[in-house]
Chain A
């Protein structure tokens, strides 16, 4: 059997040599006076767009700007945890919406956005997913060093909603903004809740043709991060 053969060979080879210790401490990683400013510049360098919605009531206008730039009228939301985490008010038009595996979406006539959001839902199916233009999700963490956000698959949501559309918007609370990757990885425990965690930095890109940069190969062509105050509350509206 391959398993025992490999392990036996590996064990034999390892014996007789001294084992170097694992280093106890990580090397120093950069820290910044203004983490948000560093996050913004790193994200922009990676081709992403940074929107500041830290003052109360500005989330709506930030999202309206995204709707205008992308020319899209419909937002798909990456599960109900997005509304809870960022205290976004909503009304359910569809009583089934929060049941398992539904795609939550809100329609925005002429690109205007008001709270509470009017939420509809669709079955979570590939044929619907493939047609989505704009998805909004919530970040577990942001990393100032590289302008990175961390997306985790949550119960009730999936991997594809943020991977397929032409545009992806991430909401990030400023209290979740970390300085660098040495702060991130020790606190990250992938697998503890979701089956997959993704570090996202800017739009999908390639430089495979003559090292010329092109945005939007297989994933989103446009990528936005909206930074919010964690205690900010668009008044939450419980469904009737």
Chain B
């Protein structure tokens, strides 16, 4: 989370792809368009998509309600197979553990595959302060690290960069022959990163799921970089958010199907790594030490409320980002958090506090596309509204913003709760519409409505209500 001096995380559409930056807007439109297209194809292929979503939602709801049990079960299984389990209450605990481990082993450089949690806790920065170099090995992460930027998207970190920009970056920083050939860009990264892999002594990965019954860490990927991160080095550290645990191996069939199709439109990714331990006695390679770091960092606070708790269902597919009209315009960097887009708008204020991220719940048009696309059915708009109310309460001690707004909604509620009052109110508005005219829509040129309508439009009323038309009908049905 990138806090400013006042300790606030502000939505800032002018960092990164500002609304006015034409190149970035074009890049975004191009890539997001492709993502949405393949997503559509992959989802429409599955006849019982809704059933899969409900299944996953039910599994997550059950797990979170009994999280203390499943976390202990996971710990027991991992320990039973020789792994070590480390519990981290907050970001600092997790950072301290990794830094100390690196110091103990005298490690100056480590390899890492994509981990949202490591972005959340600011792992790279913490290691840098201790003069330990982190090599990001996912191509997209490698690109943004080279550019000195945070990731732009949950599953596609360099989504906002064109091949031309990346080619320039590679020739400047890595001395690559100038070429916009994606094959060559990839080959350059492969060669360089291969050297880092072969020399690495510590590998850090995230986890997509942690299966309690078998003690299995699941790492989903396409490039094969996570596979190398957890195979070559003598020490493997997995960072896992406590909400990543699922009870049974069998449910992975459902979760994987939902995750890969939602994230990249693939039926499945190239690799799904299921890790149970470090190297075993008769195995030829693999890490000697295997650490699983279970990180809370604000998550357990979300468990209190069964509605807000659903935020923790998230499997980090990034589908809600792609469909979000706000994300499409302001881009990932504007959210100033590891988690951009609609999921970031609900996760960031809850993982920190509503006081420190009061703008996030408002970075949405409440169109509902995120909830519709979400593979685990998180009611994002609903949670956004709850957070908006919290933000207002935090600001001036009560939910409503100004008395006028409060009265307007009381009037609205009063008129909507009885048919007579409703038709009276309708007649009044129709009268006002006659009085002030109806270009563009209904005009109410007197305060407080005139102020409210300065940047909004109300639809015009039809000349006759349905009741009037029905009363005057000529034809009997």
Contacts and interface: CB of A to CB of B under 8 A. Distances in A.
A11 B214 CA distance: 22
B400 to A, nearest CB: 29
Contacts of A214: 182-183, 186
B158 A208 contact: yes
B253 A130 contact: no
Contacts of B93: 2
Contacts of B276: 190-191, 195-197
B66 interface: yes
B182 to A, nearest CB: 5
B137 interface: yes
Interface string B71-115: 110000000010000011100010000000000000000000000
A180 B47 CA distance: 15
Nearest to A196: B275
B223 A22 contact: no
Contacts of B55: 23, 26-27
B214 A208 contact: no
Interface string A193-219: 011111111111111111110101111
A154 B284 CA distance: 9
Contact of B182 (A1, A184, A210): A210
Interface stretch (B298-306, B425-433, B465-473): B298-306
B296 A209 contact: no
Interface stretch (B261-269, B361-369, B382-390): B261-269
Contacts of A1: 87
B214 A19 contact: no
A14 B66 contact: yes
Contact of A22 (B89, B214, B248): B248
A46 interface: yes
B197 A211 contact: no
Give the contact-size bracket for chain A: 35 or more
B65 A205 contact: no
B71 A10 contact: yes
A23 B139 contact: no
Give the contact-size bracket for chain B: 35 or more
Contacts of B198: 126, 130
A20 interface: yes
Contact of A148 (B30, B67, B268): B268
Given A190-B216, A195-B277, A196-B286, A7 B249 contact: no
B346 interface: no
A83 B38 CA distance: 40
A208 B157 contact: yes
A156 B286 contact: no
Given A199-B274, A204-B222, A188 B66 contact: no
A182 B276 CA distance: 21
Contact of B286 (A100, A148, A153): A153
A187 B48 CA distance: 23
Nearest to B65: A19
Nearest to B78: A191
A161 B227 CA distance: 11
Contacts of B278: 195
A218 B190 contact: yes
Contacts of A157: 283-284
A19 B303 CA distance: 13
A210 B30 contact: yes
Contacts of A180: 253
Contact of A26 (B72, B253, B280): B253
B270 A201 contact: yes
B224 A218 contact: yes
Given A10-B300, A22-B58, A208-B138, A216 B67 contact: no
B387 to A, nearest CB: 18
Contacts of B232: 126, 160
A205 B51 CA distance: 30
Contacts of A220: 224
A238 interface: no
A92 B296 CA distance: 54
B126 interface: no
Nearest to A202: B270
A58 to B, nearest CB: 27
Interface in A170-199: 180-182, 184-186, 188-191, 194-199
Interface in B112-163: 137-140, 143, 156-159, 161-163
Given A10-B303, A209-B158, 18 more contacts: A14-B68, A23-B59, A27-B48, A27-B254, A101-B284, A156-B282, A157-B284, A159-B285, A182-B253, A194-B283, A199-B268, A199-B271, A204-B223, A211-B34, A217-B186, A217-B223, A218-B223, A219-B227
Closest 4 CB pairs of A and B: A219-B224, A191-B276, A158-B284, A13-B303
